[in-house]
Amino acid sequence: MTMFDLTADLQIFYDKHVRLGVDRRKKLADHRDLNIVRLKNGLDDLAEESKRPRPHPYDWQNQGGYAMHTLNQDPRDDNDYDIDVALLFERSALPEDPRAARQRVADALCKRCTNFTQEPTARTNAVTVWYAEGYHIDFAVYRTYADDFGRQRIEHASIEWKERDPQEINKWFQNAVSTKSPAGGLLTKVPEGQLRRVVRFLKWFTRSRPSWSLPGGLIVSTLVFECYRPSFDRDDVALYDTIVALRNRLAADTRVYNPADRSEFTANSEIANQVKRFKDQLDMAVGKLAALFERDCDRTRGRSAWDWVFVHGFWGDKEVAKVAMDEALASASLPTPYFVKIRCDLARTEGGKTYKRYESGSSVLPKNVALRFTVESTNVPAPYKIVWHVDNHGDEAAEHKQLTWETPPSESFEKWTSTAFKGSHRMICRIMKDGRVQAETSHVVKIAPGRWWNR
């Protein structure tokens, strides 16, 4: 049976709400350029302190979704954008130890970067800077040199120096888009680059719920490359057919391999779990989209089906309202004449010195940030006891059986936790007197997915 046609709606949604757009893309480029300047100035600071040269990178290159033109608008409007940049140094400009090379870049950024939620950190494959505005930048460090035979070599600073072309993934994807997408012609009704649009739609789907912890962009792109089903007539058909093919592929095998070096992404247990959850949600999507093939499907029912996939007001408010209702119920508190106010501060380690205040529900934080919650004030007459109660919302917390827990009543005005699981981390402070809750308040922390390839 023919699938109900909403391809025109899908194109409008893509143009207005999915694509990054010129203005957002320029803003991210400005953030990138500013941080490259900060890096160079920081290297100059290190040189002045050490009285030794700290050469600048001689070039840089875009990587990741920004370079592949698959970076979407943020479904939650949290400015949760990642910018991947390859820094190219002469071999003589960096320490021979790849860890020391990454640390030098991190130290340089620490000299000049401000307003971050976590200071620049040298991870296994990149140096990451998380900013309070929501975006984060990953600087991958490369060195270039000519070998004994005069051949140009490019090596990436990971656990060891590994030969790698910083543009390899981008070249692979651009070739896939041009060769797999329907070519322009009299018989082609869709715009060029359909594969890229399907990737973007599925990347949006994986981020449509804040509680979901599903694979990142490169893994989604790799799977779409394998399973893409083109349509010369309609993007909605191509998207649906690809969703079905993805579901079937993952039902048979959940292993995913890097298209550049064929290493297994899913050898990492966190990614393996994300891919398995992706399979489950694709299964749900296929069931929801079955309405598009029913005889009595109309525009309203068809848009409602796609609404489950995208959770956006463009398609209808039902799924958006469900997510909002869940959040409202989680934050509801009992009416009382008393109040309590709490605050949250960020630290590098539990019990360590705090470096920044975090307002409830503000920017998205990376994992492994220590959180110090304290009672600022309350009008409940003493004596009283304090209960700290945690509600986590998300796939990862559910899998670790850490959705909720609380402390026994005590006199402690302080409680330490951390950003352990992707999703939301809600700290509820209850003031207890005579065995009853006299006042309570909550503080929400938004947590980004862990980027295992940067650890």
Q: Given this model, what pLDDT does residue 185 score?
A: 85
Q: pLDDT tens-digit profile of 138-158?
A: 999 999 999 999 999 999 999
Taking 60 as the threshold, does the pLDDT of residue 443 lie above it?
yes
Taking 80 as the threshold, does the pLDDT of residue 33 lie above it?
yes
Q: pLDDT tens-digit profile of 338-366?
A: 999 999 999 989 999 998 899 999 888 98
- Dihedrals φ, ψ of 390, to 5°? -110, 130
Q: Given this model, what pLDDT does residue 363 score?
A: 84
Q: Given this model, what pLDDT does residue 134 score?
A: 79
Report the C-alpha dihedral over residues 264, 265, 266, 269, rounded to 10 degrees. Answer: 120
Distance CA 211, CA 281 (A): 12
How much is the mean pLDDT over the chain? Answer: 92
Range in 87-91, 204-208, 363-367 the model is least confident about: 363-367
CB 341 within 8 A of CB 375: yes
- Dihedrals φ, ψ of 324, to 5°? -65, -40
**Residues forming beta bridges with residue 441, ordered by sequence position:** 429
Taking 70 as the threshold, does the pLDDT of residue 452 lie above it?
no
Q: Prior bond to 383 cis, omega within 30? A: yes
Distance CA 247, CA 229 (A): 13
Taking 50 as the threshold, does the pLDDT of residue 454 lie above it?
no
Distance CA 372, CA 350 (A): 8
Tokens of 308: 């489950």
3-state SS record for the chain: CCCCCCHHHHHHHHHHHHECHHHHHHHHHHHHHHHHHHHHHHHHHHHHHHCCCCCCCCEEEEEHHHHHCCCECCCCCCCCCEEEEEEEEEHHHCCCCHHHHHHHHHHHHHHHCCCEEEEEEECCCCEEEEECCCCEEEEEEEEEEECCCCCEEEEEECCCEEECCCCHHHHHHHHHHHHHCCCCCCCCCCCCCHHHHHHHHHHHHHCCCCCCCCCCHHHHHHHHHHHCCCCCCCHHHHHHHHHHHHHHHHHHCCCCECCCCCCEHHHCHHHHHHHHHHHHHHHHHHHHHHHHHCCCCCHHHHHHHHHHHHCCCCCCCHHHHHHHHHHHHHHCCCCCCCCEEEEEEEECCCCCCEEEEECCCCCEECCCCEEEEEEEEECCCCCCEEEEEEEEECHHHHHCCCCEEECCCECCCEEEEECCCCEEEEEEEEEEECCEEEEEEEEEEEECCCCHHHC
Q: Given this model, what pLDDT does residue 287 score?
A: 96
Range in 89-93, 201-205, 211-215, 334-338 the model is least confident about: 334-338
Listed residue (151, 165, 43) closest to 101, CA to CA: 43
Q: Given this model, what pLDDT does residue 417 score?
A: 97
Taking 80 as the threshold, does the pLDDT of residue 115 lie above it?
no
Q: Given this model, what pLDDT does residue 324 score?
A: 59
Q: What is the mean pLDDT of residues 174-194?
A: 93
Q: Given this model, what pLDDT does residue 371 score?
A: 97
Pairing of strands 436-447, 364-365: parallel
Q: What is the mean pLDDT of residues 90-116?
A: 93
Q: What is the mean pLDDT of residues 432-436?
A: 92
Q: Tell me the percentage of the chain whose pLDDT exceeds 90.
A: 83
Q: Given this model, what pLDDT does residue 455 score?
A: 34
